[in-house]
């Protein structure tokens, strides 16, 4: 077998950041589910299949501890090492296949082992190697995060992937002469031809037709890695939970916090049925059919111990939270399996306002209730509101970072800001107060870079950003219209810079991105 072991390596994977992998988020998921876990302030953390290394490096920069990562693609490892050198964080990166890495005798005991999506795209032999690693090298009380494409949501969609596979191996056709790593364009051309012939399958299976029509709009590197690997494993939850049980793991909860909110996802009839389903693993397996689950981000613990009621109350009273979005960006609406729901403004409005008060200072649940004026709000309703906001990814668990964590985060961010000028740009900054990443669009990165260089007026920030845009051919956009003249660009960029000064800078200070 070649070193690729069937995994597509023709192009690098996308430079995404995945907040569900953050140690603080995993700790929150466990505690919110009433489960103890062992994720210390200085964890020994392992990410298997780290892609281009953005998540593992942000977490290493923004946290204490030692962060290990393994990926067998040398281009990925080279990119990740560049990020690690920029921050100076304690990162141990390895260019190995899973079987070789898992067989090493020099590995430490880990507090967290995380693999995002990997389970779906590797061979059975590699899955067994990972299970062996978890069984031997995850500490008791440690947490495993395993996300994967899941049934039954993929049952109607898998034939689309089959057609892509067939098309990849067909003659070039319309894709002849096109730069086509991995045969993605050939695969899409073939899929288009099949759909264009009006097959009965796509007429009767609308989800598959919708997927097929949307694929040409996707990033080609994403398509190659998502759909065109030799291994493509789409299990049911019960299969994964059973495999993890062999490694002494017990399911805790979904890392996607909104999955906990029944009103967004389940009808009353479904809730009544699931209440009768015991144990939890059966409930989860049946729930997947209620919501037609397509992707699962599961959190498991090695040695499940339930928190007492007093421990849970102490957790909710003592955990601080901080907004990760500016107040004017937060829309009080959320989507679940049942569609979009509007959150009650009389509760969520004052709660979000309280969290944004005092320049976004992190606050505990009792502080939020007191500051919001909702002193008659039941504790469980306040807990529910904070849980929903965390699930919307506009609110994060907060802590007080050390000076070293703040310094490493800023060193990492300095590298990100320079890449905003020269490319290829990254999309997230390290925020030490949340121990994780913060989405930051490129124009805002350029404003921040200019601010750190000493520019303090909106006009100066706009001029600096426009100078970069001119070298890269970019333009400002307003109301979905790209600006044309220098005057138009400077006007729009100045408006954006004014908002950056007024709304974004206070948030970034609260998150530890700035002093």
Query: What is the arithmetic mean of pLDDT over 272-287?
Result: 96
The angle formed by the CA atoms of residues 296, 301 and 306, to the nearest 5 degrees, is 115
Q: What is the pTM for the complete model shown?
A: 0.92
Quote the CA–CA distance of 231 and 138 in Å, as a whole number: 26
What pLDDT does 9 receive? 44
Flag whether pLDDT at 17 surpasses 90: yes
**Residue 289 DSSP symbol:** H
Range with the poorest average pLDDT among 4-13, 222-231, 373-382: 4-13
The per-residue pLDDT for range 313-353, each reduced to its tens digit, is 999 999 999 999 999 999 999 999 999 999 999 999 999 99
Let me know: does 308 contact 378? Beta carbons within 8 Å: no
Taking residue 311's Cβ as centre, other Cβ atoms within 10 Å add up to 13
DSSP states along 228-255: -SS------HHHHHHHHHHTTEEEEEES
- Residue length of the chain: 515
Q: Is 135 exposed, middle or buried (0-12, 13-18, 19+ CB in 10 A)?
A: middle
Rounded Cα distance between 209 and 196, Å, is 11
3-state secondary structure of 108: coil
Do strands 477-478 and 481-482 pair parallel, antiparallel, or not at all (unpaired)? Answer: antiparallel
- Position 171 scores a pLDDT of 66
pLDDT digits 0-9 by tens, 351-408: 999 999 999 999 999 999 999 999 898 999 999 999 999 999 999 999 999 999 999 9
Q: What are phi and psi of 142, to 5 degrees?
A: -75, 165
492 has a pLDDT exceeding 50: yes
Contact between 236 and 150 under an 8 Å Cβ cutoff? The reply is: yes
Per residue in 242-259, pLDDT tens? 999 999 999 999 999 999
Residues 390, 209: Cα–Cα separation, whole Å: 33
Residues 397/390, Cβ–Cβ less than 8 Å? yes
């Amino acid at each position: 077998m070649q070193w690729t072991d069937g995994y597509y390596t023709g192009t690098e994977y996308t430079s995404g950041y995945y907040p569900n992998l953050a140690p603080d988020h995993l700790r929150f998921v466990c505690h919110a589910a009433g489960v103890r876990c062992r994720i210390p302030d200085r964890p020994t953390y392992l990410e298997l299949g780290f892609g281009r290394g953005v998540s593992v490096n942000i977490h290493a920069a923004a946290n204490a501890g030692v962060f290990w990562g393994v990926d067998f693609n040398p281009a990925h490892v080279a990119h990740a090492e560049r990020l690690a050198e920029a921050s100076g964080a304690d990162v141990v990166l390895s260019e190995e296949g899973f079987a070789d890495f898992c067989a090493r005798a020099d590995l430490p005991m880990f507090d967290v082992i995380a693999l995002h999506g990997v389970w779906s795209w590797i061979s059975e032999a590699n899955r067994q190697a990972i299970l062996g690693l978890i069984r031997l090298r995850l500490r008791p009380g440690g947490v495993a995060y395993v996300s994967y494409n899941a049934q039954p949501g993929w049952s109607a969609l898998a034939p689309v992937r089959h057609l892509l596979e067939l098309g990849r191996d067909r003659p070039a056709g319309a894709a002849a002469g096109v730069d086509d790593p991995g045969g993605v364009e050939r695969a899409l051309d073939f899929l288009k031809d099949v759909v264009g012939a009006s097959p009965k399958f796509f007429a009767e299976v609308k989800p598959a037709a919708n997927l097929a029509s949307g694929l040409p709009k996707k990033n080609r590197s994403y398509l190659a890695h998502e759909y065109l690997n030799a291994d493509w494993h789409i299990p049911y939850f019960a299969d994964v939970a059973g495999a993890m049980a062999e490694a002494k793991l017990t399911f805790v909860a979904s890392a996607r916090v909104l999955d906990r909110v029944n009103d967004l996802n389940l009808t009353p009839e479904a809730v009544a049925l699931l209440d009768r389903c015991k144990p939890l693993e059966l409930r989860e397996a049946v729930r997947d059919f209620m919501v037609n689950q397509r992707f699962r981000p599961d959190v498991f613990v090695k040695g499940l111990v339930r928190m007492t009621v007093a421990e849970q109350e102490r957790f909710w009273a003592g955990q601080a939270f901080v907004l990760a979005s500016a107040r004017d960006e937060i829309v009080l609406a959320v989507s679940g399996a049942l569609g979009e729901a509007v959150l009650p403004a009389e509760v969520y409005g004052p709660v979000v306002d309280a969290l944004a008060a005092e320049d976004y200072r992190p606050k505990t649940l009792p502080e939020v209730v007191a500051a919001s004026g909702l002193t008659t709000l039941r504790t469980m309703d306040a807990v529910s509101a904070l849980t929903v906001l965390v699930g919307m990814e506009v609110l994060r668990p907060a802590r007080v970072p050390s000076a070293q964590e703040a310094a490493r985060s800023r060193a990492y961010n300095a590298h990100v800001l320079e890449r905003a000028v020269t490319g290829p740009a990254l999309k997230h900054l390290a925020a030490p107060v949340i121990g994780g990443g913060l989405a930051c669009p490129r124009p805002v990165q350029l404003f921040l870079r200019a601010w750190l260089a000493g520019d303090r007026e909106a006009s100066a920030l706009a001029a600096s950003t426009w100078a970069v845009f001119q070298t890269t051919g970019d333009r400002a956009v307003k109301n979905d219209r790209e600006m044309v003249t220098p005057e138009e660009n400077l006007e729009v960029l100045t408006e954006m810079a004014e908002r950056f000064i007024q709304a974004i800078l206070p948030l970034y200070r609260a998150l530890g991105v700035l002093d």
